Structure 1
Amino acid sequence: MQIGILGTGGMADALGAQWIRSGHEVLFGGRDLGRAKDLARRWDARFGSLREAADFGTGAVLVALPWDVATGVARQLPLGGRVLIDCTNPVGAGFRLLTAGGPSAAAQLAAAAGPDARVVKAFNLCHEDIWRLRPPVFDGRPLGVPLSGDDAEALAVVGELVRDVGCVPFAAGELEQGAGLLEATAALLIRLWVREGVDAQSIAPPRELAGR
């Protein structure tokens, strides 16, 4: 699969490396071509501009840009028909959800990318270091990755890429509601991990006990 990656930060690096190891072709696209080149050299991959990454990503395009610039970038790129993976989190100072009361970041991205773009919210609940693990397994269980989107084919593509990282995909609802829930969950988890020093896994009981 040809995967274009928009961005040259930690998420681009971690997920791009995993997909390259799985046999996919990856092109890292950056606003700073020097950073894109350095990242590509690290993994023996291609690099280019953001537009070149969008053109290259016939299989999928990972949006690994700061959430507040992603929509502006999306308006300028040829993303019609592309499977867009949105891993951004609109979390600001004080761990505040910056999209509260309005459309989710993923919904805003979908609107900016155009009616033919197929956005899937995924990979937003964990720090980049988790995605570097080979594979992300905890207490003998592969990490679950919730996916939110409206297009069945796009969800299947992203599900394949989740499995290539060594994780298990599962449905988290349609984009209008599911993405907002995932982004709010990320804000909560980041607050618990960073500010409170809490092991966030401790707040969710095992499934077999949850209904008792």
Structure 2
Amino acid sequence: MRIGLLGTGNMADALGTRWARAGHDVWVGGRSPDRAEALAARVGGRAGSLREAAGFGDVVLLAVPFPAGEEVAAELADVLTGRALIDCCNPVGPGFGLLTDGGPAAALRIAAAAPGAHVVKAFNLCHEGVWRLTPPVFDGRPLGVPLAGDDAHALGLVRELTTDLGCVPYAAGGLDRAGLLEATAALLIGLWVGERVDAQAIAPPQAHAGA
């Protein structure tokens, strides 16, 4: 599969590296040619502009900070049309609150900025270090990754990429439920980082979750 990475930060590095090792063809796009080339060298892919990366990928990972996401999506809307666009950002601000509170979810804003893209919300619930694990398995249980999106083909591609990480894809509903994933991230980050507790312990095993 051809994957375009929009951004040169830790999430693009972690996920891009794992996908390249799984045999996918990766193109790193960034505003800084030097940073894009350095990341491509680490990942094992090619480097170029954001537009080149977006036009290359069957799947495109939008891995830029939340404030820049809409701008980048709008700028590349023409080349993103018809492509699966993964939004992994977390709009979490001071006090672990949602920066989108009272408005559309980040993923919905990105979808509005690039209306021809097939946006899938995924990979936003874990620190980049988790995605570097080969594979992310805890106490014998592979990590589950919720995916929210509306396009069946795009969801199928992202499910494949999730499996390639050694994880299990979970159907989280349509893109209108992406805000729930973003709110979950805000809650978990607040517990993990703010309270320094094992947030995984807040959910019982499925057998005890009720009918």
Scaled to the shorter chain, the TM-score interval is: over 0.9
Matched, 1:152 2:148: no
Corresponding pairs, count: 209
* Structure-to-structure mapping, 1:1-212, within 5 angstroms: 1-57=1-57, 59-77=58-76, 78-114=79-115, 116-176=116-176, 178-211=177-210
Matched position secondary structure for 1:47: strand
User: How far apart, in 2, do the equivalents of 1:147 and 1:43 lie?
Assistant: 24
* Structure 1 segments of 4+ aligned residues over 3 angstroms from their partners: none
Partner Cα separation in structure 1 for residue 158 and residue 145 of structure 2: 10
Larger displacement relative to structure 2 (28-37 or 125-134): 28-37
Normalising by structure 1, we get a TM-score of: 0.97
Amino acid at match of 1:62: L
Shift of residue 175, structure 1, vs aligned partner: 0.6
Structure 2 unaligned segments of length 5 or more: list them.
none
What RMSD, in angstroms, separates the aligned Cα atoms of the two structures? 0.8
The 8 Å contact of residues 26 and 44 in structure 2, kept in 1 or not, is answered as: no
Rounded to whole Å, the distance in 2 between the matches of 1:3 and 1:44 is 12
SS, match of residue 129 in structure 1: helix
Give the Å deviation of 1:210.
1.5
CA distance in 2, matches of 1:154, 1:55: 16
Deviation at 1:43, TM superposition (A): 2.5
**Cα distance per residue 1:78-127 (max 9 Å; x no partner):** 2111100000010011111011121100000000012x210000000000
Structure 1: unaligned runs, 5 residues or longer: none
State the identity %: 67
Offset, 1:44:
2.4
Aligned partner of residue 98 in structure 1, secondary structure = coil
Say which SS state the counterpart of residue 145 (structure 2) adopts.
strand
Q: CA deviation at 1:145?
A: 0.2
Could you tell me which amino acid in structure 2 is paired with residue 129 of structure 1? G
Look up the equivalent residue of 2:110 and give its one-letter code. Answer: L
Cα shift at 1:56: 0.7
TM-score of the superposed pair, with normalisation by structure 2: 0.97
